[in-house]
């Protein structure tokens, strides 16, 4: 996909969520379509170890007791490697998977309109995908701002 053919906006509500198969650990992969039947929260973020990303993911970690009763699964996605994710997840004691959109770099982020080609990383974007695999809610945040979890929780309540 060339820079000129990249989506300029994140995918809209009602769009079928593009399937993907990404590393969840250095030796395990996760396919989005295997999660059909329950809601999925995708948290695209620029980089492990950055202060805003660390705060955002820590907030989702703290909100898991509010998310799990809705039968939803949270997945973080960035272009960092599975090894980097593993170290970051362990250090921050995160209780959800971080998926590596490392190679081909940003392919999934691009498919969701959540890739910053100039910076070479994922944008800060949130998606709630319903049990049928359609985007029920999406939000693009400025890269320097933690968008919090309120929008996600509201979207899950509406499902």
User: Which one, of 147, 126, 107, lies nearest residue 21 by Cα?
Assistant: 107
Of these residues, 11, 53, 152, 155, which one is catalytic?
53
User: Which one, of 111, 137, 115, lies nearest residue 124 by Cα?
Assistant: 115
Radius of gyration over alpha carbons of the chain, in Å? Answer: 14
| Cα-based distances in Å from 18 to 49, 58, 62, 112 | 27, 26, 28, 7
Q: Is 53 a catalytic residue?
A: yes
Active site residues: 53
């Amino acid at each position: 996909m060339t820079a000129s053919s990249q989506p300029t906006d994140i995918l809209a509500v009602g769009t079928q969520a593009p399937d993907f198969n990404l590393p969840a650990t250095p030796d395990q992969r996760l396919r989005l379509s295997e999660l059909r039947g329950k809601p999925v929260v995708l948290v695209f973020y620029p980089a492990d170890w950055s202060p805003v990303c660390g705060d955002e993911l820590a907030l989702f970690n703290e909100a898991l007791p509010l998310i799990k009763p809705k039968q939803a699964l949270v997945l973080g996605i960035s272009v960092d490697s599975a090894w980097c994710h593993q170290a970051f997840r362990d250090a921050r004691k995160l209780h959800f998977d971080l998926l590596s959109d490392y190679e081909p770099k940003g392919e999934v982020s691009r498919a969701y309109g959540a890739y910053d080609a100039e910076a070479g990383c994922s944008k800060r974007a949130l998606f709630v995908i319903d049990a049928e695999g359609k985007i029920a809610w999406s939000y693009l945040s400025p890269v320097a701002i933690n968008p919090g979890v309120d929008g996600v929780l509201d979207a899950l309540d509406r499902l």
